Amino acid sequence: MNGAPVVSRSLFGWIAAGVALTLSLGCDAQPLESGPPANQVSAEVADVEPPRYAGSASCAACHQEIAERYSSHPMANSAGLADASMRVIEDFDPAKSEFSELGFGYRVERSADGEMVHQEQSPTESEVQYAQSFPVDFYVGSGERGRSYLIAKNDMLFQSPITWYSQAGRWDLSPGYHQNNRHFDRRVSGACVACHFGRPNPIEDAANRFQQPMFSEFAIGCENCHGAAADHVDWHNGKRAEGDQSSDPILAISKLEPAKQASICNQCHLVAADRVLREGKTAYDFRPGDNLEETWVCFVEPVSGRHDSQNAVSQVEQMRSSACFQKSTPQMQCTSCHDPHFSPTGAEAVSFYRQQCIACHNDASVQCSMPPAERLAVSKEDSCMQCHMPKALSSDVAHTSTTDHRVLRNYDQPPVADESAGATDFLHAFDDAALRLPSETIDRALLEIAAKHCIAEHDQHSALLLTPKIEAHLAKHPDDLSMYLHAGSLYHLTRDSRRAQEKLEYVLQRRPQDELALKTLFMLAHESNSLRAGIRYGREYLKINPWDADVTGRLIHLLGQTEEFEAAVVLARGAVERFPADLQIQAWLDRAEAFLQKQNASQK
């Protein structure tokens, strides 16, 4: 999630103003003393029963026709096992499946039994020559625009550096890899998994690690939109008490208020400039029927007037800037144009979406002003979208194009401004959420965005200004472990080791396997030359995540400093196998082996 460029423009203003609703409510907003009024959404996290899922197969038993139509929808093919059951859209011809980028060689192979292997080979001029291969476990992406691939390492997921781009019909580096090649070491977060997969099984208190099996359902299924359906299935199967007059417990989406209907789509399709989980929430906590702001506080920027390129997934913000959305009654939804169970293609898509437009634009006063002959000269199918929703190259994902959802009447005119932006060109709370959420919830979200910015930019000066505000928040919210982690990281940044350790140890008391707390404590110990503490933290961390090259390399260094050369060599040899592209680890291995040989020679 990338809010740093905007945060940097206004960060000092937020700090100076006390980070109090500067983006949405203005100067007259007052902090809440005893809970939100009736029209606000409480920040408290309620204890709820875990949802009882039935699985999409149970839905198909009764809703066969809908299930068959949905089976071809991109969401129904959002992810799956990369094995013989995978629908093949890629070209595995060696002439296509081998390529070079950034000096590295890449190869994709698929065996007769469906196993896919991705390989990276070192540059020919590299000091260390290697060829590293991993079998692929999962694919991500319907293939409409492309497909990426995930590799399971222990209980974690990592992205392959290789992606298939369907629109270009070619293999290339995964998105973002041209700027920062992470090889096979790019960790996949729970927030990504929560949207691309149907039902992941995360480990409790470890959103980025997964149980076995990692997934109960791979692709986006019925219950991702309609809610958990086990009670619905039981109700229809007669599993209720005699005389029970209760109604069908399935979520009635059509009866939800517009914001809650939209939230079902927005939970994944609203990328936002930044999204912050509310206190105590995880990326897996949104349920259909909720308002998105009950789980996430989302901040957006005004929609750009440019039309030569677009963000990879920004259709929600674009649609909300359109005259269609702002003038619609009842309020326009994604499903006003899209059939959530079916996605037409080719000529069928042109006709389908034209009919969706005509459903609203059927009166003479709102019909297309261009004469039919001129329209047909532009599009022989008389496509509304070709003029008003054209495709443009994505600025985020190479080799792909996306549909512009601003629905501009004329592309030489700027779009209608998003009214929720107010007069500012900075971040603002999506859908005027700040009018409903408690002020302290908005304040907390802004604090977290500012903290992430300070850490990412190594901005010590801003961090010094920010920590007192986080301390004030923690005094009121001693269970907010996420903010304790941010505080620990900020104190680490400002080299206040005592306070950093205090905050991070507090987290470990509550969550003994918290990766960020352990890693930051390890870094503190390494930087302060606290050798024994560093070795202890490093070993604890690597038990959880042995695929962290930075911690592994630093631990090798600490073991060398304490003259534990044998342990350093064992760790380094394993690390060279896991991280062959890391020349620093290779150098530490050479040094540790030299010291071990010298030590052994002196003992003879």
Categorize the per-residue pLDDT at 401 as very low, low, confident or very high, splitting at 50, 70 and 90: low
Q: Peptide bond preceding 330: is omega within 30 degrees of 0, i.e. cis? A: yes
Residue 509: pLDDT over 90: yes
The average pLDDT across 107-124 equals 96
Q: Collect all residues with Cβ–Cβ distance below 8 Å to 503 and sequence separation of at least 6.
A: 484, 485, 487, 488, 491
The answer to whether residues 149 and 162 touch, using CB atoms and an 8 Å cutoff, is: yes
Look at residues 545, 599, 541, 544 and name the one whose alpha carbon lies nearest to residue 567: 599
CA–CA distance, 588 with 283 (Å, rounded to integer): 38
The average pLDDT across 212-217 equals 98
Please give the helix or strand (H or E) that residue 319 lies within, else none: helix 315-321
The answer to whether residues 404 and 391 touch, using CB atoms and an 8 Å cutoff, is: yes
Each residue of 169-200: pLDDT tens digit?
999 999 999 999 999 999 999 999 999 999 99
Q: Is 18 left (phi over 0), alpha (psi -120 to 50) or beta?
A: left
- Residue 5 confidence (pLDDT): 31
CATH superfamily of 458-602: Tetratricopeptide repeat domain (1.25.40.10)
Please give the helix or strand (H or E) that residue 468 lies within, else none: helix 460-476
Which tokens in the block code for residue 161?
């550096």
Average pLDDT, the chain: 88
Report CA 195 to chain centroid distance, whole Å. Answer: 7
The average pLDDT across 79-94 equals 97
Q: Peptide bond preceding 74: is omega within 30 degrees of 0, i.e. cis? A: no
Residue 43: pLDDT over 50: no
Residue 527: pLDDT over 70: yes
CA–CA distance, 517 with 312 (Å, rounded to integer): 32
Q: Collect all residues with Cβ–Cβ distance below 8 Å to 464 and sequence separation of at least 6.
A: 494
Categorize the per-residue pLDDT at 412 as very low, low, confident or very high, splitting at 50, 70 and 90: low
Q: List the single range of 27-36, 143-152, 264-273, 334-343 with lowest mean pLDDT.
A: 27-36
Q: List the single range of 92-106, 304-318, 321-335 with lowest mean pLDDT.
A: 304-318
Quote the percentage of the chain above a pLDDT of 70: 86
Neighbours of 581 (CB within 10 A): 20
Neighbours of 74 (CB within 10 A): 14
CA–CA distance, 16 with 425 (Å, rounded to integer): 19
The answer to whether residues 463 and 490 touch, using CB atoms and an 8 Å cutoff, is: yes
The average pLDDT across 504-517 equals 97
Q: Collect all residues with Cβ–Cβ distance below 8 Å to 368 and sequence separation of at least 6.
A: 361, 375, 384
Q: Choose between 240 and 331: higher pLDDT.
A: 331
Residue 100: pLDDT over 90: yes
Return the bridge partners of 300, or none. Answer: 428
Report CA 178 to chain centroid distance, whole Å. Answer: 19
The answer to whether residues 120 and 177 touch, using CB atoms and an 8 Å cutoff, is: no
Q: Is 155 left (phi over 0), alpha (psi -120 to 50) or beta?
A: alpha
- Residue 12 confidence (pLDDT): 44
- Residue 207 confidence (pLDDT): 87
Each residue of 340-383: pLDDT tens digit?
999 999 889 999 999 999 998 887 777 788 898 989 998 999 99
Torsion over CA: 133, 134, 139, 141 (sign): negative
The average pLDDT across 514-522 equals 98
- Residue 20 confidence (pLDDT): 37
- Residue 135 confidence (pLDDT): 98
The answer to whether residues 12 and 469 touch, using CB atoms and an 8 Å cutoff, is: no
Residue 37: pLDDT over 60: no
Residue 34: pLDDT over 70: no
Q: How far is CA 267 from CA 194, 290, 581, 597, in A?
A: 10, 10, 37, 57
- Residue 603 confidence (pLDDT): 80
- For residue 161, the one-letter residue type is P
Categorize the per-residue pLDDT at 423 as very low, low, confident or very high, splitting at 50, 70 and 90: very low
Look at residues 533, 510, 512, 520 and name the one whose alpha carbon lies nearest to residue 490: 520
Residue 45: pLDDT over 70: no
The average pLDDT across 202-206 equals 94
Phi and psi of 485, rounded to 5°? -65, -45
CA–CA distance, 34 with 375 (Å, rounded to integer): 60
The average pLDDT across 315-334 equals 90
All CATH 1.25.40.10 domain ranges of the chain, comma separated, are: 458-602
Locate all alpha helices (DSSP H) within 110-238, ordered by sequence.
190-196, 222-226, 230-236
